Amino acid sequence: MKSIYISVFSLMLVIGTSACSDLLEQSDPNAVTVDNYFKTENDIQLAVNGIYQSLRSSDAVGENSGLYTDERSDDTGTNDNQSNSGEPFQFNNFSLLPSNTWLKNHWNALYQTITRSNIVLSNIDKVTFADAENKAKLTAEAKFLRAYIYFQLVRKWGDVPLVTKQLVTTAEITQFTARVKKEEVYNQIVTDLKDVIGSPLANLQTGANVGRVSKAAGNALLGQVFLTMATTLDQSGKAANLASAKTYLEAAYGMKNFGSLKEIPFTDVFDVSKKSTCPELIFQIVNKQGDLNYSSSIAANTQAKGETINSLKPSTGTGANVTHDLVNDYETGDLRKDFSMKYASDVTVQDWFITKFRDASTTAGINGYGGNDWVLIRYADVILMLAEVNMYLGNDTQAIVYLDMVRERVKMPSYAVSKLDASYSTKYPTLKLAILHERRVELAFEHHRWFDLLRTFTTQELVSYIQSKKQLDFGNAKLSNFSLKDRYYPIPFDENKLDPVKMYQNDGY
């Protein structure tokens, strides 16, 4: 894995300010061109490493990208006065404008990863490989990473430009500066991921390869894709999509190398010393403790003033804000609450902040160069998706078995016992809401919540769900702002203006 965070893709990659320049990475005229770059297997290897490297960005899907997911949900938010007057606050205040520069940066960063993937896939056949299996593995990795990012895009924006090759000419750029229907995007994601699970990749990556794509990751993601299609696309395909979701999620689950989830303490998932050996982890962005460039900063960034639980780096701010709505959603005795958050008593804070991602080691030091890996896929997520799929298929008994696996690990009562508790049964009167709750408290701050809400509710149901919450639990963010338009983000203004017809704006913006 060392090569991923040290050997950065050596091509000059420049992201511009429009879709034209996003989709065509431009290079320094004095640098080696893409066409002349790929000569050896190692050139392809470095290029694939460059795709992984692009994931790390806070504007992409890295550990500090919560603005684009959790802060859009009911879990966290930007709640200080300075941010309230700025663009980050628009995300959790549901007042997002197409001109928002953070939104534009996110779009650009996601398409940068896709561009890097397309460059590899468009040039890999030019290189002679001594080992055909290595070529197949690198191809599968590039396809997985492209699919992973398109899955981000299609859930956030709906119809988006779909590019699956390196663009060279102006005519090609013009042709692909156009949104295509989300169903077509999903079809491409499925195609890529089926190639991944049919590849010679390892079922799970170990040792130096931790952080690289595996078949388990491919199956888990494909299962989630089909589950999302079943719950958000035309309902005529719901049964088939649910059946496929079950197939691939079970395949991912069958690749685990542990007996039952309760064998893995919840805290082990986030233990820096166990990040390369914890059997629950399926796919993660690897960080290097103590390293200026490739360390983790989330422990320090989320810590509140006066606290040392996360990092030895002194904090002067309020840390990562946690909504009281989430705080109140934890059941009494749930150890995940005490591990995931803490109340900061400093007079300038006096509120909850995130403690789930910690590294207060001397190696991380006072600069906060933590060693936390950023986990993108893990088995508790897969297990709870299996609960969800079985619930939708009408097999509540099996769904509850999966739900109880996660609850048993943290010594919470079984679902059958919990239903007898008036408080629990009132808050979660259906199995569907019980699963949504369990995903919330299990996966808090791991950037799943917004997508879970989109998958669980229709847009109108989501409006009612958000607006039914107590405004007092959300600080300055106005829940009354949430409306039908907030199902999707607006197309960034600079993209829309390129071709208002082909890059049409989402409704309500």
pLDDT tens sequence across 279-322: 999 999 999 999 999 999 999 999 999 999 999 999 999 988 89
pLDDT at 99: 97
473 and 494 together in one domain: no
Cα–Cα dist 395/393, whole Å: 6
- For 94, the token pair is 């549901």
pLDDT at 34: 76
Instruction: Tell me the average pLDDT across 208-228.
Output: 98
- How remote is the C-alpha of 73 from its chain's centroid? 13
Cα–Cα dist 145/55, whole Å: 9
- For 75, the token pair is 């879990």
Instruction: Tell me the average pLDDT across 450-461.
Output: 98
Whichever domain contains 459, its CATH number is 1.25.40
The residue range of the domain holding 362 is 287-372
407 and 315 together in one domain: no
* Residue 397 predicted with pLDDT over 60: yes
Cα–Cα dist 392/386, whole Å: 10
451 and 345 together in one domain: no
Cα–Cα dist 486/459, whole Å: 8
463 and 489 together in one domain: no
pLDDT at 32: 54
146 and 17 together in one domain: yes
Cβ-based neighbours of 464, under 8 Å, separated by 6 or more: none
- Give the gyration radius of the chain's Cα atoms: 22
12 and 83 together in one domain: yes
Tell whether 471 is covered by a domain: yes
Domain endpoint, select from 372, 392, 409 = 372
pLDDT at 31: 54
Tell whether 420 is covered by a domain: yes
Number of domains in the chain: 3
321 and 466 together in one domain: no
Tell whether 214 is covered by a domain: no
Instruction: Tell me the average pLDDT across 156-177.
Output: 95
Instruction: Using CB atoms within 10 Å of the CB of residue 122, give its burial: 0 to 12 exposed, 13 to 18 middle, 19+ buried.
Output: middle
Task: Quickly state the pLDDT bin for 100 (edges 50, 70, 90).
Answer: very high
Tell whether 177 is covered by a domain: yes
159 and 67 together in one domain: yes
Instruction: Tell me the average pLDDT across 260-269.
Output: 98
Average pLDDT, the chain: 93
Task: Quickly state the pLDDT bin for 382 (edges 50, 70, 90).
Answer: very high
Cβ-based neighbours of 72, under 8 Å, separated by 6 or more: 91, 92, 450
**Contact assessment for residue 211 and residue 286, using Cβ atoms and an 8 Å cutoff:** yes
Instruction: Tell me the average pLDDT across 166-172.
Output: 92
Cβ-based neighbours of 484, under 8 Å, separated by 6 or more: 459, 460, 463, 507, 508
Tell whether 143 is covered by a domain: yes
pLDDT at 86: 86
- For 499, the token pair is 């071709």
Task: Quickly state the pLDDT bin for 36 (edges 50, 70, 90).
Answer: confident
Instruction: Tell me the average pLDDT across 388-407.
Output: 98
Tell whether 207 is covered by a domain: no
Cα–Cα dist 40/345, whole Å: 57
Looking at the chain, the whole-number percentage of residues with pLDDT higher than 90 is 89
Cα–Cα dist 185/176, whole Å: 13
- Beta strand residue intervals within 349-402, DSSP E: 351-354, 374-378
Backbone angles phi, psi at 374, to 5 degrees: -95, 110
Domain endpoint, select from 372, 395, 421 = 372
Instruction: Tell me the average pLDDT across 173-198.
Output: 97
Residues in the chain: 509
